[in-house]
Amino acid sequence: MTVNYNRDASTSKSWTFFKLLLKWKGSIWKAVYLELIIFLFIYEIISVVYRRALNPFQQRSFEALVRFFDARLSYIPLELVLGFFCTQVFNRWNKQYDNIGFIDKYDILHIFSLHSVLVLRDISMRVRRRFPTIDTIVAAGLMLPHEKEIFQSYSDAAGTPKYWIPASWALSMTYEAWKHGYIESAYYKVVLQEEIRKWRTNLEWVFNYDWVPLPLMYPQVVCMAVHLYFLVCILARQQVIVDHELRTEIDTFFPIMTTLQFVFYMGWMKVIEAVINPFGEDDDDFETNALIDRNITMGMMIVDEGYDRPPELRRDSFWNEIHPLYSEETSRIPNHPPCGSVSQVK
């Protein structure tokens, strides 16, 4: 499910983000703890072997290897690779969220709900588990038995998905409604059909993002760069002893700064992994099943309870005088109405 922390971050205070650091679900700690344990385990084993098991000649050879890797660690352009890839992934994430389809504005609700389910069950494992077959969609009431027969009668010889069929039905329904006088004018028919086309296009974009991901080489490069960087760090960040004296001022048997760097960079990569496919089953992926339920419930409320039942127009409390009401506590909070930055200059 989506991890919501907006309430905890509603006010900017010194401790606000420290509170967020204490969360576990969807956190950086949950994402990187296993890799961090493995990294530190290997690091400490090598450190113990270097200090206790190697003879002086072997230690000198190991120290030369450490200096070699440490001097060339910056050859891996980690910030550039992660930064650019993260930008691309988040742009795709935003576009998928914009196109996922909220049903509030539409009237042919049954068809739209069916359309979204047909698309989401092929790109979201959560929805696939809920609707593994067309029969389960019929059992859920999202497709009627006669609609199933018509749907399956369409040829799929080319192997292409048949998501377009419900949208085609919806367009035909608007034409029939206009022809029988349920839609007042051709203009409103065209407007409604444009909304249907927009809905279908948005869902098609969602499917296309799943069908054509970012080139495989890109996540491979990012994954390889991050893991190779810290694989080299296992040697490059070892504390070496030269002539029985530490090369640095403090013998930090535990790699403090390297551990922090590991959390930041590996966490950065884990963010990308979680966002690259928001229709998966991670803590912060899209709530696709909840979206389906919301669209069905909201749509039925619009047509059954909200249609043609506006409240009677009456005089409200602001008819003669405008005095916005504040509680005693909120009245003490100063208001700053919008004004130009130099509007008060005389």
Distance CA 1, CA 290 (A): 9
For the stretch 165-199, what's the b/e string if a residue is b when 16 or more beta carbons lie within 10 angstroms of its beta carbon?
A: bbbebbbebbeebbeeeebeeeeebeebeebbeeb
Q: What is the mean pLDDT of residues 229-246?
A: 79
Backbone angles phi, psi at 239, to 5 degrees: -80, 125
Calculate the CA 9 to chain-centre distance: 19
Q: Is 84 in contact with 90 (CB distance < 8 Å)?
A: no
Number of helices (H), then strands (E), in the chain: 13, 2
Backbone angles phi, psi at 293, to 5 degrees: -65, -40
| pLDDT at 73 (0 to 100) | 86
Per-residue pLDDT tens digits for 57-112: 888 888 888 889 888 888 888 888 888 888 988 898 888 888 887 665 454 677 88
Per-residue pLDDT tens digits for 270-318: 888 888 888 888 888 888 898 888 888 887 787 777 677 778 888 887 7
DSSP string, 36-65: HHHHHHHHHHHHHIIIIIS-HHHHHHHHHH
Distance CA 99, CA 116 (A): 11
| pLDDT at 243 (0 to 100) | 56
Q: What is the mean pLDDT of residues 40-62?
A: 88
Residue 242 has pLDDT above 80, yes or no: no
| pLDDT at 42 (0 to 100) | 93
Structure tokens at 153: 């009668």
Q: Where are the domains of the chain?
A: 23-92+215-282, 102-211
| pLDDT at 106 (0 to 100) | 52
pLDDT band, very low/low/confident/very high, at 130 (cuts 50, 70, 90): very high
Q: What is the mean pLDDT of residues 147-152?
A: 90
Per-residue pLDDT tens digits for 245-254: 555 556 567 8
Residue 136 has pLDDT above 90, yes or no: yes
pLDDT band, very low/low/confident/very high, at 18 (cuts 50, 70, 90): confident
Q: What is the mean pLDDT of residues 115-134?
A: 91
pLDDT band, very low/low/confident/very high, at 190 (cuts 50, 70, 90): very high
Residue-averaged pLDDT of the chain: 84
| Rounded alpha-carbon distances, angstroms, from residue 33 to 234, 263, 301 | 17, 8, 45
